[in-house]
């Protein structure tokens, strides 16, 4: 078994990357898959959202130590609050990654893919929660991945910046990782009751075509409440619309 590695990415901030990383992982875990979430964002939102406290973080090496100080990845992994979901935690010091990597690793894009090698056979899926940028951290994520899942918020400017993101994916594919593909584009924070959301969906569908996933994630306040309790939507309210949609997404991903 070798894990399928999926980057969850968009250089735009606040478009549902972390919410999707945590809850897609939890859904796949409920479906009996073994999942590792890698929190690649110095904001550490998925670390906190999956129940890893400051005290727990202080007891093990973090993604920063694994990437830049050659700490053992096996010793750095925490069990999260969700069934079958492990997590490699992040901290704010990861914001120094680019500088450090330029200085000591020649700006290498391969640091993350080398780092996950020892654990790649331990999981069915590795989900990487990317920071909102297209910098060296995200390039490392794309080099380490089989595919990229792009989250797009259902709003008027949804598609802004998307061509730049797609270009970055193709350039990483060409230069470093021929196997890289687009897993799909996921519309998040969809509001059924606004005509505008449907207009945006149609527009995205027209431009993106086959890459647009069938599953849409509705705007659902429960999805924004669960992380403050350090649990996924399935442990917070498994019958809400947000939970149902993330379970559908997991099934869509499993069925390829």
Ligand X SMILES: Nc1ncnc2c1ncn2[C@@H]1O[C@H](COP(=O)(O)OP(=O)(O)OP(=O)(O)O)[C@@H](O)[C@H]1O
Identify which of residues 71 and 98 has a Cβ nearer to ligand X in the complex: 98
Residue 139, Cβ neighbours under 10 Å: how many? 22
Q: With H, G, I as helix, E, B as strand and everything else as coil, classify residue 208.
A: helix
Using CB under 6 A, pick the residue from 15, 35, 38, 169 that binds ligand X.
15
Residue 107's binding partner, choosing from ligand X, Mg ion, none, with beta-carbon cut-off 5 to 8 A by kind?
A: none
Identify which of residues 2 and 192 has a Cβ nearer to ligand X in the complex: 192
Q: Which of residues 13-42 bind Mg ion (CB under 5 A)?
A: 17-18
Q: Starting at the edge strand that comes first in sequence, how are the strands of the sheet with 212-218 ordered?
A: 77-79, 85-88, 35-39, 125-129, 4-9, 147-153, 181-190, 212-218
HSE, CB side, 13 Å, CA atoms: give it for residue 229.
13
Nearest to 113 by CA among 150, 139, 91: 139
Identify which of residues 161 and 173 has a Cβ nearer to Mg ion in the complex: 161
Residue 13's binding partner, choosing from ligand X, Mg ion, none, with beta-carbon cut-off 5 to 8 A by kind?
A: ligand X
Identify which of residues 12 and 17 has a Cβ nearer to Mg ion in the complex: 17
Using CB under 6 A, pick the residue from 6, 9, 16, 73 that binds ligand X.
16
Sorted by sequence, the CB contacts under 8 Å of residue 32 that are 6+ apart come out as 84
Identify which of residues 71 and 225 has a Cβ nearer to Mg ion in the complex: 225
Q: Which of residues 75-104 bind ligand X (CB under 6 A)?
A: none
Is residue 41 involved in binding ligand X (CB under 6 A)?
A: yes
CA distance 79 to 230: 13
Identify which of residues 16 and 51 has a Cβ nearer to ligand X in the complex: 16
Using CB under 6 A, pick the residue from 80, 177, 188, 232 that binds ligand X.
188
CA distance 91 to 165: 25
Identify which of residues 110 and 244 has a Cβ nearer to ligand X in the complex: 244
Which positions from 212 to 241 touch ligand X by CB under 6 A, shown as an x/- string?
A: -----x-xxx-xx-----------------
Do the Cβ atoms of 149 and 179 come closer than 8 Å?
no
Which positions from 137 to 176 touch ligand X by CB under 6 A, shown as an x/- string?
A: ----------------------------------------
Sorted by sequence, the CB contacts under 8 Å of residue 178 that are 6+ apart come out as none
Is residue 188 involved in binding Mg ion (CB under 5 A)?
A: no
Nearest to 169 by CA among 2, 13, 10: 10
Q: In the bound complex, what is the minimum distance in angstroms from residue 72's beta carbon to ligand X?
A: 27
CA distance 176 to 63: 22
Binding site for ligand X (CB under 6 A): 13-19, 41, 43, 45, 132, 188-189, 217, 219-221, 223-224, 242
């Amino acid at each position: 078994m070798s894990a399928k590695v999926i980057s969850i990415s968009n250089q735009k901030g606040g478009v549902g990357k972390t919410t999707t990383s945590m809850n897609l992982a939890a859904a796949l875990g409920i479906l009996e898959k073994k999942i590792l979430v890698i929190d690649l964002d110095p904001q550490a939102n998925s670390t906190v959202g999956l129940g890893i406290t400051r005290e727990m973080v202080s007891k093990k090496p973090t993604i920063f130590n694994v990437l830049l100080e050659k700490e053992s990845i096996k010793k750095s992994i925490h069990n999260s609050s969700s069934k079958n979901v492990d997590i490699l935690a992040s901290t704010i010091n990861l914001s120094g990654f680019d500088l450090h990597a330029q200085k000591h690793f020649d700006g290498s894009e391969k640091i993350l893919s080398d780092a996950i090698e020892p654990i790649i056979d331990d999981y069915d899926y590795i989900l990487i929660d990317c920071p909102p940028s297209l910098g060296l951290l995200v390039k490392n994520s794309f080099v380490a991945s089989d595919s990229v899942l792009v989250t797009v918020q259902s709003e008027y400017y949804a598609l802004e910046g998307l061509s730049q993101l797609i270009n970055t994916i193709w350039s990483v594919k060409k230069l470093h990782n021929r196997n890289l593909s687009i897993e799909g584009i996921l519309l998040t924070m969809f509001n059924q009751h606004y005509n505008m959301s449907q207009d945006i969906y149609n527009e995205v569908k027209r431009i993106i075509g086959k890459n647009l996933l069938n599953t849409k994630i509705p705007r659902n306040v429960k999805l924004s409440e669960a992380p403050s309790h350090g649990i996924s939507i399935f442990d917070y309210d498994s019958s809400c619309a947000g939970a149902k949609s993330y379970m559908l997404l997991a099934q869509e991903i499993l069925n390829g």
